[in-house]
A and B are shown apart, each in its own frame.
Chain A
Amino acid sequence: MKNANLIGVIFLSLALAAGVTGCKHRPPSVTPIPDDTGGPPKPAAHASPDNGGVAGTPAPVTTDTIPLSNGDYAPLFEGAHNEDRDKFKADTIYFDFDSSTIKESEGAKLQDVANYFKDNKKVEGLIMEGNCDERGTEKYNLSLGERRALAAREYLANLGVDPHRLKTVTYGASKPVDTGHDEAAWKQNRRDDFVLVTPK
């Protein structure tokens, strides 16, 4: 399993390198293989030579994008379902200004969400809602909010959650938690909310 994991990481690195050097080519679709026994693969998005890269390890690895497909999550999300906004309220993650990078401080919350899905064999899903503060123009914020939701989706998939159960939505700056116009408000609004979806 560790080996399989390592191969997966190398494959991701190659896919990323191909994406960077050959812009004309479509990036390969990479879906991480869930690893139920060997512990979650360590998300590598924050690894860098400066902050703990072990000597001899490969260059920092960034998670690749994971394509979205309707077939797999359509029945769950588009059929009759309940949405529970409280279940993961404490796991709302926050972002730095104009950034979609998952901060290390938010990792434990995502691990908490991932644990729920790993322990739970029922057909449940998660709506991941990306939000922004008001300091971007509307259409820019919509794309940034989607990128924030996708960043969390990639992170959870790397922790072993089936990405087909993870649906992203962006609200840009349309759903602020705090309507103030200062950093105290803005930092509450740069967030991903997670909504548990269960079939009716």
Chain B
Amino acid sequence: MKMHHLTYLAAVLLTTGSVSAKPDEPIEIRKPTTYVVPISVSGFEGEVESVLTFDLSVLGMEITTPDKAAYLVNGSQNGRLQGSLTAAGTDHALWARAYAGGLIRAQAHAFANDIVKEIRGTAPIFQTRIAFRLQNGGTTEIAVSDFDGYNAEVLTHDGTLVDGPCWLPGGRGLLYTSWKNGGEEILEHNLSSGERRVFAGFPGANLSPEVSPDGRKAAMILSRSGSPNLWVCNLDGSGLEQLTHTRDEDSCPTWSPDSREICFVCRSGRAELQKVSASGGPARPVRLAGAYGNSTSPDWSPDGKWLAFTSGSGNFTICVAPADGGDTQKLVAGEDPCWAPNSRTIVFCRRVSNKRILCLLDVPTKRVKDVRQISGSCSEPAWAR
């Protein structure tokens, strides 16, 4: 047991190269980030236990018995949730906390957030929401849920078609394309009042809105100039500007976290990722080594470092590459990736028989967990961030 723990610690030190031993500086031990962490969960049952095991698995941890664990989670759930986190082989817990208020499910998520922050050092994601497209038969609607698929709510009941949504900053609303008035138009949906208004209803296609992270602008695909091209406007609809002028179609815009650039898909022979300044100018290809076939549906990580995208035609693969171009990492089968606020987890969609389901991917460990299934086919997820 001791031996195992020492081996594990050695692995931590070797792989992270992490001990800063200069005099006068505090010794900093960085968090183990890139490999599967064995962890045990004891003292809980039912919903709390299932929330904890699911959440920790999403961040690339392997639930195991205490004798094989690198970290031990202990606690109780009598009335309120109390828990502690201990590194294996040590006598004292790293910390012990109690959680009050809200539903026991929310307390379990909050506890899991604290554990992950300690072990992985990443931003909390277990109390965030996702929005997605829900298909039943020949119609599609917009739905939202917790990141794990729980507390799902169908927002639209138009009985027609919609395309996948994007979030307004702060999660106060969504933009999405709707066909409820015949041709496609972009609607803005206020989540607190339930009110909707037409955000973009130009002649031709009004597609694929993406709100900039600073909340000031929206990028979208319009065909009013005669071809599906990339346009931007302010959120009040003013300042409409055409950014690309290609004859072949452009698609799939995503913003850089500083809201200065837009990455999108341009088809010149095959679909490739390009970047353009949000204030105009020429578009430049993102050079991706190891990408094959079409590269579509990019999503820029909130920390600015990565582009996740879909590679291929039909047999789709989720890929990640440096935002400035470079080597493509092929991760798992699936499409339409969207980063969580932690720039580590990705929600994506994969096709199983005649249905699509949403899944969560831990990028460094390539571990995948399916979100809770709801009736219908779920696709085009967007993480509130």
Residues of A within 8 A of B (CB): 19, 23-27, 29, 62, 64-70, 73, 77-78, 97-98, 100, 134-140, 142-144, 146-147, 150, 154, 167-172, 174-175, 179
Contacts and interface: CB of A to CB of B under 8 A. Distances in A.
A29 B183 CA distance: 23
**Chain B interface mostly:** loop
Contacts of B242: 26
A142 B205 contact: yes
Interface string B291-333: 0001011000000000000100110100000000000000000
A154 B296 CA distance: 26
14 contacts: A27-B226, A68-B226, A100-B249, A134-B314, A137-B296, A137-B310, A137-B335, A137-B336, A140-B297, A142-B163, A142-B205, A142-B221, A143-B249, A169-B205
A24 B244 CA distance: 9
Interface string B335-352: 110000000000000000
Interface of B: 133, 138, 140, 161, 163-164, 177, 179, 182-184, 202-205, 207-208, 221, 223-228, 242, 245, 247-252, 265, 267, 270-271, 280-282, 294, 296-297, 310, 313-314, 316, 335-336, 354, 379-380
B226 A65 contact: yes
Contacts of A19: 245, 247
Contacts of B177: 142
A100 to B, nearest CB: 7
B316 A137 contact: yes
A69 B207 contact: no
A140 B225 contact: no
Contact of B164 (A68, A69, A139): A139
Contacts of B270: 98
Given A139-B164, A140-B296, A67 B225 contact: yes
A174 B140 contact: yes
Contacts of B380: 138-139
B218 to A, nearest CB: 14
B3 to A, nearest CB: 48
A167 B183 CA distance: 9
Contact of B282 (A24, A26, A65, A147): A24
Given A135-B314, A138-B336, A146-B223, 11 more contacts: A62-B247, A98-B270, A135-B313, A137-B316, A139-B207, A142-B208, A142-B251, A143-B208, A147-B248, A150-B228, A168-B204
Interface centre among A19, A69, A97, A98 (most CB of B within 10 A): A98
Most buried by B among A64, A134, A135: A135
A197 B250 CA distance: 29
